[in-house]
Amino acid sequence: MSLFALGLNHHTAPLAVRERMTFLPESLPDALGELTRARPVQEAAILSTCNRTELYCATNDPDSALDWMAQYHRIGAQELAPYIYRLEHQQAVRHVFRVASGLDSMVLGEPQILGQMKQAVRLAEGAGTLGALLHTLFQRSFAVAKEVRSTTAIGANIVSMAAAAVHLSERIFGSLSGQRVLCVGAGEMMELCAAHFAGCTPREMVIANRTLDRAQALASRFERSDLKVGAIRLDELGERLAEFDIVLSCTASPLPIIGLGMVERALKQRRHRPIVMVDLAVPRDIEGEVDKLGDVFLYTVDDLAQIVDSGLEARQAAVVEAQAIIDARVANFLQWVQAREAVPAIRALRGHAEDMRAAELDRALRAIARGESPERVLDTLSRNLTNKLLHGPTRMLNEAPPQAREQIEGLVKRLFPQHGGDA
């Protein structure tokens, strides 16, 4: 059984492919259960974000796991193949540590990925698909991420996606003080966006969400004397969209919630005044055809990546330090795996020795009960144990072919250093 990291990310696949491979958080427990029941996969966890979908698993058949991923999303394996990477053992461990530390993120050093990975672990634990191997891997990855962030500058000078959205809006409108902003969704990303835009004091800001209570709760956090913040339900989008100059969206909807027709109607009501639309969701919340409208400036997560490179040079200098930490921790983890793999053999060896000890002790006690000299019984006991314990190594040395004898002699010296002269 080997450890694998299988998947695709923003380095290997465009947004149009990534959005077809996403897993909704609420679907992950059932998906993991289906995978481990239907395929020869002993342990599994899935990390699905805007920029990556990765399956971490313990299996001897990674091809079967990849086939399952393709079938689950109704994508042909051949169609998916150009975008997929398959990392095994040491490469997989290094990759997981890099992901947790933010070294593989679209925004180098961004901290959100660690929380997303922890959520993936909780879901796998709840599904019962996390065994000792993956559990230890993830706990080590969290420790590595903490060490990297506390001892390097990998997280310094980060320009977040939310800050990039502000920058794009200012590029179109200049000052945001006269603009109305709509935030669609009430998750972590929209909370960050709301915080950044609230700092620019727009004319008005509104939170739209399926659950009105959650939208109102988020809105109340940013309401102040110089900023009006409201809340609406998602089903009000169609009739309210025309009011807003800037629309940010990031929901977990599997299908677009803002379509071409809805935007066309809004533009008509606005008399074709421009709208900035920033779609931070994967799968996308806004239909791609909207980008063809002349008065809409539509940006996706991949578009924002060009802006968030600000401050990258300083963080890249920290990558070398971070990678050195990761390499050392990868070696430590592989040592643990190697020791774990030796446990069955060690258990069998000690069990065999215990059986011999118990048999010789029983024989010695019966001899003493018959009145034999304790000194003689103990001498016989020690000799018998010595002979039995050394019978295997002695026979191996005597019967070893010449080409293998040197290797076996070296092993014996390592096993019994006092007698091999290497103590």
- Render pLDDT for 318-367 as a digit per residue (tens, 0 to 9): 899 999 999 999 999 999 998 877 777 778 888 888 988 899 899 999 99
The pLDDT value given to residue 311: 63
Residue 421 binned pLDDT confidence (cut-offs 50, 70, 90): very low
**pLDDT of 125 over the 50 cut:** yes
Q: Is 314 annotated as a binding residue?
A: no
| Residue 338 labelled as part of a binding site | no
What is the pLDDT averaged over residues 382-409?
84
pLDDT of 9-27, one tens digit each?
999 999 999 999 999 999 9
- When the pLDDT of each residue in the chain is averaged and rounded to a whole number, the result is 91
418 a known binding residue?
no
The CATH architecture of the domain made up of 161-304 is 3-Layer(aba) Sandwich (3.40)
What are the structural domain ranges in the chain? 2-157+314-338, 161-304, 344-420
Architecture in CATH for domain 2-157+314-338: 2-Layer Sandwich (3.30)
- Per-residue pLDDT at 39: 95
Residue 80 confidence (pLDDT): 95
Arithmetic mean of pLDDT, 375-397: 87
Mean of the pLDDT values across residues 207-216? 96
pLDDT score, position 389:
84
Residue scoring higher pLDDT (284 or 352):
284
239 is in an annotated binding site: no
Does the annotation flag 185 for ligand binding? yes
**Rounded mean pLDDT of 409-413?**
80
Tell me the catalytic residues: 50
69 annotated binding-site participant: no
Residue 420: band (very low, low, confident or very high) from pLDDT cuts 50, 70, 90: very low
Between 81 and 390, name the one with better pLDDT: 81
Q: What is the mean pLDDT of residues 226-245?
A: 96
What pLDDT does 405 receive?
78
- Which pLDDT belongs to residue 307? 77
Preceding amide of 283 cis, omega within 30: yes
- Is residue 238 classed exposed, middle or buried when 0-12, 13-18 and 19+ CB atoms within 10 A define those classes? middle
User: Higher-confidence residue: 411 or 137?
Assistant: 137
CA pair distance 391, 395, nearest whole angstrom: 6
pLDDT value at residue 416: 76
Counting other chains too, the contacts that 274-277 makes at CB distance below 8 Å and 24 or more residues apart are: 274/172, 274/245, 275/244, 275/245, 275/246, 275/247, 276/168, 276/169, 276/172, 276/173, 276/245, 276/246, 276/247, 277/246, 277/247, 277/248, 277/249
Whether 131 has a binding-site annotation, put simply, is no
Q: What is the percent of the chain with per-residue pLDDT over 70, rounded to a whole number?
A: 97
For the chain, the maximum distance between any two Cα atoms, rounded to a whole number of angstroms, is 113
- Confirm whether residue 188 is marked as ligand binding: yes
Residue 187 annotated as binding site = yes
Q: What are the tens digits of pLDDT across the range 155-186? A: 876 778 898 899 899 999 999 999 999 999 99
Q: How confident is the model at residue 205 (pLDDT cuts 50, 70, 90)?
A: very high
Query: What is the percentage of the chain residues whose pLDDT exceeds 90?
Result: 74
pLDDT band at 93; cut points 50, 70, 90: very high
Is 189 within any annotated ligand binding site?
yes
State yes or no: 111 annotated in a binding site: yes
- Per-residue pLDDT, 409: 81
Structure confidence at residue 310 (pLDDT): 60
pLDDT at 108: 85
Q: Is 79 annotated as a binding residue?
A: no
